[in-house]
Amino acid sequence: MFKFNTKYVVNKITNLKKYQVSINTIVKKINLGSLEGTEMMGWVDLIENYNSHELLLMKKKAIEWQKLNLKYIVVVGIGGSYVGVRAAIDMCCGSYNEKTPEILWVHNIAASYLLPLLKKIHNSKFAIIVNSKSGTTLEPALGFRLFREQLQKNVGISKLHKYIVAVTDYEKGTLHDFAKHNHITTFGLANDIGGRFSTLTAVGMFLMIVKGLNPLKILQGAKQARKDCESDNLSRNSAYLYACYRHYLYNFRHLSIENFIVYEPCLEFVGKMWQQIFGESEGKEHKALFPALSLFTTDLHSMGQYFQEGTRNFFETTLIVNKPRYDIVLKIHDDNDKLKYLNNKSIDFVNRKAFEGTIEAHTKLGKVNNFVLEIDYADEWHFGYLFYWFATAVTISGYLLKINPFNQPGVETYKNNMFKLLGRKK
């Protein structure tokens, strides 16, 4: 299950009753739809009213692809069309799911990244999933063109449509029109769900199904998170409490960075998903915490000194798995490397003690505030729970900052400059 642990928080909120009043006001306004951005909260009801017909179509298409004996699946997407679904795949499949095609992620326009991928799929059986609401965002549009051209060489133009799935706008747009004209299977994106909140739509669900994940378990986890987040009472709603603590540490303790920590590489993209959800939702009007990400124990050997004794301008949030998918029990009968004290102990036991030793050092001696998110397993249910819990927390956190957590006007600035420099005409 899931637990939000505040045991290691050094600076407790001094006036929780005042925050409770703010929460009550925000929730009331959300329910009335009177706050800017609430029209983009389609993800809230999505899990309860999931399009079962579309889910069946996704399963049917996944079975069709299984019969094609694909070696690779090229996933074209960036931002919310990439980070969340990769987080789900990495978390739930790890590195050992060899029964399904290998995923090649096309999320960058550097030639040094794309060319090796194109060489890898040359003369191979592969399919493409392209995620883009409009089809005009440069990175996925360019990636789709390159890999579509290679696919056409491999299978021929008459069979091209069998090997492509487009997740795009239901009714309009460049990608929608291209897919319709070429008889390509499409799954829709609703207008009331933004990119970083779209992971449980077809953007993520289709690939999860292809990779063998159970979509019903994902939805069950999300539904449980919604149930757990129904109460306005901060003593019973951990997502709201997390949002209040973030605001308190930023606004009243003047901390500027939140360092999100994972202890397993398969959770690194869950951290990136958290980073995008909070960074893109809150980074406006020169406000908000900077969402940093660390992989421990790896980063303890590069940044550990800073975390322990550097500037006290940050706090930490750690995601820990109580029962990891894999473990190794050590059998050490000699002491040549001075490791015999670890005989009969497991690797997870060692990793857990690294976590416990680190958080004690950072809290007691380093005086760093620490939150701990505990999940029992790295599986579909817990991914669904985490996704909904993060989305709920950032909604409240954003409104506490008095900003709209659902838009991203600043992203358009770099896009407009880039298109201008490239000579694109409106």
Residues serving a catalytic function are 280, 301, 415
- Using CA atoms, how far apart are residues 275 and 269, in angstroms rounded to an integer? 9
Rounded distance, CA 338 to CA 331, Å? 13
Which of 88, 127, 71 has its CA nearest to residue 205?
Answer: 88
Distance CA 20, CA 22 (A): 5
User: Which residue type is seen at 41?
Assistant: M
- As to burial, measured by CB atoms within 10 angstroms (0-12 exposed, 13-18 middle, 19+ buried), residue 78 is buried
**What is the DSSP code string of 28-92?**
HHHHHT-STTGGGBHHHHHTTS--HHHHHHHHHHHHHHHHTT-SEEEEE--GGGTHHHHHHHHHH
At CB < 8 A and 24+ separation, what contacts does 94-101 make? 94/266, 94/325, 94/326, 94/378, 95/266, 96/326, 97/211, 97/212, 99/212, 100/210, 100/211, 100/212, 101/70, 101/71, 101/72, 101/73, 101/126, 101/127, 101/210
Determine which helix (DSSP H) or strand (DSSP E) holds 131, and give its type and residue range. Answer: strand 126-131
Phi and psi angles of residue 72, each rounded to the nearest 5 degrees, phi first: -135, 155
How crowded is residue 90: how many other Cβ atoms within 10 Å of its Cβ?
A: 22
Cis preceding-peptide flag for 298 (omega within 30 of 0): no
